[in-house]
Chain A
């Protein structure tokens, strides 16, 4: 894809690097070193994320995917017809249109028990379950026309994230990163935070933040809930930080040996050793906080603060399906 551009940036970089012999550690860090200028496409030195396709107006894109969350029918999507049909068998037209994943178990229509009222000046109908959100409806955009024919977890999630129920397409975040670039200098452009309740995700796995047929630089970087937040962020325990620093310096053998452009020195070891891990740990902390506050739909403020420090798409997986606490909603 975009061969011309990618190759010319590769070459530019390559000439700078005096034809190689130079650590991947530092070379890869190049992708972290993009200036604001390069993010705006004025100077494309990043081999990882190409300059953006559009002048971005949004600085951050946050996508919360609350898998198995409480039903829209209970929260913000009033269905008066269901109240009429409550307790009656599911209309044949619905059953024939599409099989339900749980088949005949859901043969009876169950209307929401919660009361919807018009809120704010716009009159958006929100149920009593969301008193806080109800106060802010005039500042929200709510789309109710979305529909989905997929009843299985993975295809439906893929449709949501990648625009098609089939595997192998880039995720929304990949497209956003591709289209809008990233202002981030000290964090990956596209982050994925996963909630964790001890078992795996009930879904299509890494395909949901995969880059499909686009380069892996557009793939979401996962912040993991267990182990390293980002894989292999930790220095092996046999090494002290000083030893690690000395190691990274040595990897840059040819920078020291061959007088190179001053720009390269900007791959300072602090980036590798402090800023990334620091930011990553911070966000991880926020992610944990999010999980402890899972009964509220609002993301914690700490997260937002750290969001202001970097840019780019971010996705959450927040599985309420298996959380008994949500039972009270239904």
Chain B
């Protein structure tokens, strides 16, 4: 063994390696100072240098501050240090210790210390210029209030174009001409609905020469029910939606889709983003809360649940709350708050205590599903409910008193055990099982049983009490075996089950409720849930506007509703900016702030700060209407221009920051599949409903422990990608190959990679092959008989444009070649002897299946084209 490995091979045995690598080192954001005329600006030029090189030891994090020096505040940077020096002496670079140290010739003295990078001479110059000019500090741009900027005076009447044009002119760039109309309608249709247009859509747009033709298309798309599907999928990345628990057994959550449906409906109804926010964070706390608003809190239910034996219930509950906190901070604040879980944030003004104050909002909430009968279920369910309740109490009546007594003892013992772990193993286990088994594979709240027990009997709803009785009868502790026999509880349980099976179904939905007993929150020392530091109460970070407790509910302690309203208050500097930036990112491939997950000091600065603020204030002025904002953007010339790359831009703006052209964007995993389904005619475009399982190789689900993938039947296989069942430990392989983000944490921007697995999927995946067959059949049925006509038809169906003469010729040759190969093979199959190379190479197939196979090959080639999986 050893010899074989030789010295080149580094063995990392399972028991032998810790990889220590700083995420920051690797993903260091490159903030190059912008080369513009004028003086040095703190936020734009100086802060990035300090943040990258200095703040780790001389920043906000008190516990790791060296030499008593703090460089992120003017006051402390300029005051005398314990050493007698001053880091920054405004107006006097030569007296500033900061400058002396960053260029010091002695490596021991030079800052930052190894292995930190030495500052470039340009960076030193920037610092020198800044100190010479008086070392002015500015508040971080993202924390400054949003002010509606004046739109630059320009020939362009659209405000977006005016902002973009100003920057382009300043850099000597000119915008690109408008995209051709086919490209444009394909772009806007994919962007707004996630589906390409059909040939008919294209034809009617091409035929409409009126000035408002494009706007009419846009209005139609915004009103399409597919709009909600496309933007829901965008939002589900943030919520990190999944259809299972995660962790070892990865139990199913068959009602998770109710939240997804809520999001689709919300986007289709253009629920204003402030309401959208409030209902997802606190829909249960609204004074006029309904089942609908409570279903919004399903947003908070996408955290993972560990139900493996031995799991510490409190540890995993805490993990869920931590995830909720970090998800909310990333989604609405665009801040990497999770960094403050273990220590003060290194770069942003976010103390560890502030993190746990935010945590406290969600620590006060518990998982509980709501009874949310579907429209078609409601009537039947309501009609049967009273009768059911009566019959249930009749079944229980003979033992009611004894059962109550028994359960009271059980509940008391469970509560005692929670407070006194380790005293009695059997009861520790009973408590644990209550947390692990409750609602398993039903998508119910994991600790709901425990919360019901904590709710005083008189305050429980009938449904809560019934479910607790059912659980007790199913999992009666061994201590009570004798009583169970005496009372005949097994028989009663069977009768109750029988009754339950007769009750018409009422689908439940994941939601959150306020913790019954209240829960004290602490700072966790070094992020360890067992090490309680200071007590904290729900509050928002000090660097952001104050929380307003005065909302007429006369509460003394802030709750999620306060938080949600605070997030969407007009003074809030982050929510609107973060949101419009993400919408922009979807339409241009890149946000105005490229780091859409991080608006903090280490994130990128906006390329167009004023445009960002204009969009943010516009969103609020338009009553938080997402549809209005999207319409504003897609009507701009900037959006409508060509994406074709230009030689001048390749040099002057290789990243297309200044938007002298649109951006070519690889379609999302779902959009690729949906597009192919649509073009092939297989798409089942019905909206909404539970998750489905399209075909995929059996081996995929074996990545997980006990996952089973039984493909859905019939047309359910051809639903849009958003409805695909997301099993967290073995996600749908086709989507993973095309960069579906990890479903376990919040994702603000998908990666777009380019890998051989993608090529193999499009070429050989039986699902794509099936679509190719369907397109071939459709082509043969709908186009005239000539090869050229058929090629034209298939080409237009997939790419929407007619083929160029060269392309047409090439494909004609291809079809002829395929036909020849098929005939050759056909001959080999029908002539049984002797074995030819061809017949050995692949097993004979039904000769009839070979007919028209050249058109299948053609369709498959079209689905494999780069043009098909990108939007220009």
Task: Judge if A86 is at the interface, Cβ distance under 8 Å.
Answer: no
CB distance from B246 to the nearest CB of A (A): 6
A272 CA to B1 CA in the complex, in Å? 33
B12–A61 CB distance below 8 A = yes
- Residue numbers in B under 8 Å from A104 (CB-CB): 425-426, 428-429
Q: Is the CB of B309 within 8 A of A102?
A: yes
Asked if B654 and A246 make an inter-chain contact with CB atoms under 8 angstroms apart, the answer reads no
For A25, the chain B residues whose CB sits under 8 A away are: 759, 762-763, 864
Contact: A205 with B703, CB < 8 Å? yes
Q: CB of A2 within 8 A of chain B?
A: yes
Q: Kindly specify which of B389-397, B619-627, B835-843 makes contact with the partner chain.
A: B835-843
Cβ contact within 8 Å between B755 and A214: no
A150-198: which residues lie under 8 A (CB-CB) from chain B?
151-155, 160, 163, 166-168, 172, 175-176, 178-179, 188, 194, 196
What is the distance, in angstroms, from A73's C-beta to the closest C-beta of chain B?
12
| CB-based contact A204/B810 at 8 Å | no
* A29 to B477 CA separation, bound complex (whole angstroms): 60
Q: Is A237 an interface residue (CB 8 A)?
A: yes
Residues of chain A with a CB closer than 8 A to B849's CB: 238
Q: Which residues of B contact A247 (CB under 8 A)?
A: 763, 818, 857, 860-861
Contact A132 B1 (CB under 8 A): yes
Stretch at the interface among B130-138, B543-551, B743-751: B743-751
**Which of B590, B822, B850, B865 has the most chain A CB within a 10 Å cutoff?**
B865
Assess whether A232 is in contact with B14, with CB atoms less than 8 Å apart.
no
Establish whether residues A206 and B703, one from each chain, have CB atoms under 8 Å apart when the complex forms. Answer: yes
A62 to B818, CA, bound (A): 44
Give the residues in chain B near A215, CB-CB below 8 Å: 739, 751-753
CA–CA, A104 and B851, complex, Å: 67
Across-interface contacts of B736 in A (CB, < 8 A) = 206, 216, 219
- Inter-chain CA distance A200–B698, complex, in Å, is 11
Complex contact A163–B15 (CB within 8 A): no
A240 touches B825 (CB 8 A): yes
Stretch from B86-94, B279-287, B352-360, B726-734 at the A interface: B726-734
Contact A168 B744 (CB under 8 A): yes
- A121–B627 Cα distance when bound, in Å, is 74
Q: Given known contacts A60-B10, A62-B9, A241-B842, is B664 in contact with A20 (CB within 8 Å)? A: yes
Determine whether B699 belongs to the interface, using a CB cutoff of 8 Å to chain A. yes
| Contact status B867-A231, CB under 8 Å | no
A98 CB to closest chain B CB, in angstroms? 8
Is the CB–CB distance between A28 and B754 below 8 Å? yes
* Cβ contacts B784-815/A at 8 Å (1 or 0 each): 00000000000000000000001100110010
- Pair B9/A58 contact, Cβ less than 8 Å: yes
**Interface core residue of A200, A221, A297 (most chain B CB under 10 Å):** A200
CB–CB A48/B753 < 8 A? yes
List of A residues within 8 angstroms of B304 by Cβ: 167
Q: B729 — which chain A residues lie within 8 A by C-beta?
A: 204-207
Within 8 A of B (CB), among A31-86: 31-32, 47-48, 53, 58-66, 69, 72
Query: A141 an interface residue at 8 Å Cβ cutoff?
Result: yes
Chain A, 270-311, CB within 8 A of any chain B CB: 272, 276, 297-299, 301, 304, 307
Which residues of A are found within 8 Å of B838, using beta-carbon distances?
240, 242
- Once A133-B1, A230-B760 are accepted as A-B contacts, the answer to whether A24 and B866 lie under 8 Å apart by CB is yes
Given A172-B17, A206-B736, A298-B1, check contact A224 B842 (CB 8 Å). Answer: no
Give B275-304 interface residues, CB cut-off 8 Å to A.
Answer: 304
| A-binding segment of B70-78, B207-215, B259-267, B704-712 | B704-712
The interface residues of chain B lying within 8 Å CB-to-CB of A166 are 319, 323, 744-745
Q: Which A residues touch B759, using CB under 8 A?
A: 23-29, 272
What distance in Å separates the Cβ of B276 from its nearest Cβ neighbour in chain A?
Answer: 25
- 0/1 per residue, A1-19, Cβ < 8 Å to B? 1111001100100110101
| Alpha-carbon distance between A247 and B759 when the two chains are bound, in angstroms | 12
Q: How far is the CA of A188 from the CA of B845 in the complex (A)?
A: 33
User: With a CB–CB cut-off of 8 A, which chain B residues contact A47?
Assistant: 753-754
Across the interface, name the chain B residue whose C-beta is closest to A2. B27
- State whether A63 touches B654 (Cβ < 8 A): no
* A234 → B minimal CB distance (Å): 6
Q: Which residue in chain A gives the minimum CB-CB distance to B849?
A: A238
The answer on a CB contact under 8 Å between B12 and A160 is no
Residue of B432, B742, B761, B818 near A246 (CB, 8 A) is B818
Q: Which residues of A contact B308 (CB under 8 A)?
A: 101, 152-154
Interface size class of B (residues with CB under 8 A): 35 or more
Q: Residue of B at shortest CB range from A17?
A: B866
The answer to whether A227 and B698 have CB atoms under 8 Å apart is yes
A179 near B26 with CB under 8 A, answer: yes
Chain A residue nearest in CB terms to B815: A250
CB pair B755 A28 closer than 8 Å: yes
Report how far A269 CA is from B161 CA in the complex, Å: 46
Chain A residues whose CB sits within 8 angstroms of the CB of B705 once the complex forms: 153, 200-203, 205
Contact A204 B8 (CB under 8 A): no
Query: Is B644 interfacial (CB 8 A cutoff)?
Result: yes
Known interface pairs A31-B756, A232-B763, A236-B764; A20-B18 also in contact (CB < 8 Å): no
**Cβ B26 vs Cβ A53 within 8 A:** yes
- Quick one: which of B250, B426, B697, B702 has the most chain A CB within 10 A? B702
User: Which chain B residue has the least Cβ–Cβ distance from A301?
Assistant: B4
Name B799's closest neighbour in chain A (CB-CB): A21
- Is A330 part of the contact surface with B, judged by Cβ < 8 Å? no
Which of A31, A95, A204, A214 has its CB near the most chain B CB atoms (within 10 A)? A204
Residues of B within 8 A of A3 (CB): 30, 590, 594, 655
| With A240-B821, A240-B838 as contacts: A23 and B866 at CB distance below 8 Å | yes
B601-649 CB contacts (< 8 Å) to partner A: 644-645
The 3 A-B pairs with the shortest beta carbon distances in the complex, nearest first, are A101-B310, A205-B729, A167-B744
Can you spell out 5 A-B residue pairs with CB atoms less than 8 angstroms apart?
A27-B759, A141-B16, A196-B702, A200-B705, A227-B697
Apart from the given pairs A24-B866, A224-B702, 20 other A-B contacts in the complex at a CB distance below 8 Å: A3-B655, A7-B655, A21-B865, A23-B759, A24-B869, A59-B9, A62-B12, A64-B14, A104-B425, A160-B14, A163-B18, A163-B19, A199-B706, A200-B704, A203-B248, A231-B761, A236-B766, A243-B857, A297-B1, A307-B9
Instruction: Name B residues whose Cβ lies closer than 8 Å to a Cβ of A.
Output: 1-2, 4-5, 8-19, 21, 26-27, 30, 246-248, 250, 304, 306, 308-312, 319, 323, 422, 425-426, 428-429, 432, 590, 594, 644-645, 650, 654-656, 664, 697-707, 728-731, 733, 736-739, 742, 744-745, 747, 751-766, 769, 806-807, 810-811, 814, 817-818, 821-822, 825, 838, 841-843, 845, 849-850, 853, 856-857, 860-861, 864-870, 872
